[in-house]
């Protein structure tokens, strides 16, 4: 599983990141992964954002930031929801995480590199 938390639908960095995941979706699934994008935006917002970014995977609405809190996703500057990608193995163990607010395209590359290192 590749699960990425992003700050907000339709913002420049989040659009760049989500398009990168969308463009690499077949490669990620070819490595045995499913992809989930998560932000606190509404499901209505996600619907329009998914269309704009040509998303073929679920975008989950984490209203109240409960899932974000469970995974320990930090805020940037204490104000903005963080941008963190997790690679989780079949047993549910987090095998890799990448956190970078300013390099949204790197999240996909990090996920691919981590998936290639997982056994089986």
Whole-structure pTM value = 0.95
Number of residues written out for the chain: 120
pLDDT of residue 76: 75
Query: Residues 94-107: pLDDT tens digits?
Result: 999 999 999 999 99
pLDDT mean over 55-80: 91
Lowest mean pLDDT among 14-18, 70-74, 76-80, 84-88: 76-80
Question: Which listed residue (3, 14, 38, 108) is catalytic?
Answer: 14
Distance CA 91, CA 83 (A): 24
d(CA 118, CA 89): 8
The pLDDT value recorded for residue 112 is 98
pLDDT number for residue 106: 97
Are β-strands 84-88 and 2-5 bridged in parallel, bridged antiparallel, or unpaired? antiparallel
Give the pLDDT confidence score for residue 79 in this predicted structure. Answer: 76
Domains and CATH numbers, the chain: 2-117 (3.40.30.10)
How do residues 2-53 score in pLDDT, each as one tens digit?
999 999 999 999 999 999 999 999 999 999 999 999 999 999 999 999 999 9
To the query of whether residue 53 is one of the catalytic residues in this protein, the response is no
């Amino acid at each position: 599983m590749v699960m990425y938390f992003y700050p907000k639908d339709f913002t420049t960095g989040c659009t760049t990141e989500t398009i990168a995941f969308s463009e690499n979706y077949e490669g990620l699934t070819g490595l045995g992964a499913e992809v989930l994008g998560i932000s606190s935006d509404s499901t209505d917002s996600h619907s329009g954002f998914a269309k704009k970014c040509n998303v073929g995977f679920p975008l989950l609405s984490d209203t109240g930031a409960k899932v974000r809190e469970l995974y320990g996703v930090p805020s940037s500057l204490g104000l903005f929801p963080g941008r963190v990608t997790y690679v989780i193995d079949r047993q549910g163990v987090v095998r890799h995480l990448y956190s970078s607010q300013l390099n949204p395209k790197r999240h996909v590359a990090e996920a691919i590199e981590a998936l290639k290192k997982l056994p089986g």
